[in-house]
Chain A
Amino acid sequence: MDTNQRSTFYELQANNRRNSVLLVLLFLALVGALGLGLDVFFLGFGRGEGGTPVPVATFFGLLFGGLYAMQGWFFGASQVLAASQARAVDLSIPEEKQFQNVVEEMAIAAGVPPPKAYVLPDSDPNAFAVGRDPAHASIAVTKGLLQALDREELQGVVGHEMSHVRNLDIRAMTLVTALFGAAMLLSDVARRGLYWGGGRSSRRDSRDSGGGAIMLVLFLLWMMLAVLAPFLGQLLVFAVSRSREYLADASGAELTRNPLGLASALRKIASAHEPTRVITQGTAHLCITDPRGMPLNDKEGGMANLFGTHPPIGKRIEILESMAGVVA
């Protein structure tokens, strides 16, 4: 059984590596398609006289999209921390010193360098991990979490976050967030293109009516892509996030060897219904439970499967307790 658990942890890392490559390819395809659409439909690329001889929009789309994504990759984590008003732990405060100790303990258990510990000024209990790799990782918890949980429960939460770090989940999430941000920006530019250049495009279409029908279909498809890209990106982020939570619960319990600590922590966190104010919409998918306090995440199936960032907390507690052999 032990061997199985360990192989799943390597599989998780391998999965994350493979998914990251797929994501980058998907991103390049999307940006390429958006840019090429602008070139063909609005700048007349490849459509005879008067058109641009080189795909300008594609080129600049890939260039700026790539630069924007790179910026997100390297500075995304610190931006998230700054946006949620995180500050480094103050070791003279006993509960924060304890948090720092627990982070070090869990880093030893996971065999990764200890991530930086941050505290968020919020009374609602919540926690998240960010960073592009284990050597540049940070774990942040709210003041409310430190006050509500005992040492064992805190260890459960930090263990959960530490397995996000070790399994390279934080890396995949940083990548998703960076690429998603860039795709949003570019599809915004493409949509503006629709307003400016619509007239020119239709004039050209009417002239060569043979290829016109195909062009029109392609143009409609491209328009849908430009409009729907941010929405689809958001759904992708949610799906990626949801599937990782159960896994992080399980491998976090593997680190602490104490599933009940996390179960009890989740119960306490679930009973606090207020939304976590300092955590903004864009960071929701990083947290241990949904900071928006949405009832959506308590359900399964239907809308929750599409829009929820987290699996139902009751189900998570149930699974953790069954690991410890507690019969519900």
Chain B
Amino acid sequence: MFGIVLLVVLVLAALWLVGQFNGLVALRNQVQNAWSQIDVQLKRRADLIPNLVNTVKGVMKFEQETLEKVMNARARALSATTVGERGAAEGELSQGLGRLLAVMENYPELKSNQNALQMQEELSATENKIGFARQFYNDVVMKFNTAQQVFPTNIIAGMFNFKPSEFLQVPETDRAVPRVDLATS
């Protein structure tokens, strides 16, 4: 009798262990997937930029410096080899694009240019997608890390060497409001 009870308890414990372990693995995959989603959107942004710059550069003669900054940041983001470099370049790119989109408002020719408006919408959408992909990544990371910290899942996380994932910080450059100073341009 005692043997049967013990067996049942052991089987239940094993099932529970498997369930918890699989849950952690699923969360880890979700984190990786969310991370690659950000990457997809960043690549898309890099693809859009040359088109945008070509569309507006004829009209925005006095913004060559802004355009150049954007193109340079893009080139650096694409050629970056370390995560740090990439992050810095993407941050600069966000800032430059923010400024560019703001400045575009001052060109009435661009507002009546169907092509430019389309590019503007695409770019705003991509910027938003990057933002939301980061937000979702952080949401999933929080879920994953919490699962590893709460009792008793923390024991399994320790046994199988699960490591907490890192949150994405909002880069300083992203938080700065793009300053549009027309006097100097």
Contact = CB atoms under 8 A, between A and B. Distances in A.
B97 interface: no
A97 B118 contact: yes
Interface residues of A, number: 19
B117 A106 contact: no
Contact of B136 (A98, A109, A151, A155): A109
Contact of B129 (A105, A151, A257): A105
B125 A94 contact: no
Contacts of A94: 114, 117-118, 121
Interface string A79-123: 000000000000000100110011011101111000000000000
Nearest to A97: B121
A150 to B, nearest CB: 12
Range for the number of chain B residues in contact with chain A: 20 to 34
B132 A109 contact: yes
A6 interface: yes
A2 B121 contact: no
B146 interface: yes
A101 B121 contact: yes
Interface of B: 34, 37, 41, 114, 117-118, 121-122, 124-125, 128-129, 132-133, 135-136, 139-140, 142-143, 146
Given A108-B37, A255-B132, 20 more contacts: A2-B142, A3-B142, A3-B146, A6-B139, A94-B117, A94-B118, A94-B121, A104-B125, A104-B129, A105-B125, A105-B128, A105-B129, A106-B132, A108-B41, A108-B132, A108-B136, A109-B132, A109-B136, A111-B139, A155-B128
19 contacts: A3-B142, A3-B146, A94-B117, A94-B121, A98-B121, A98-B125, A101-B125, A101-B128, A102-B125, A104-B125, A108-B132, A108-B133, A108-B136, A110-B136, A111-B34, A111-B136, A111-B139, A151-B124, A257-B135
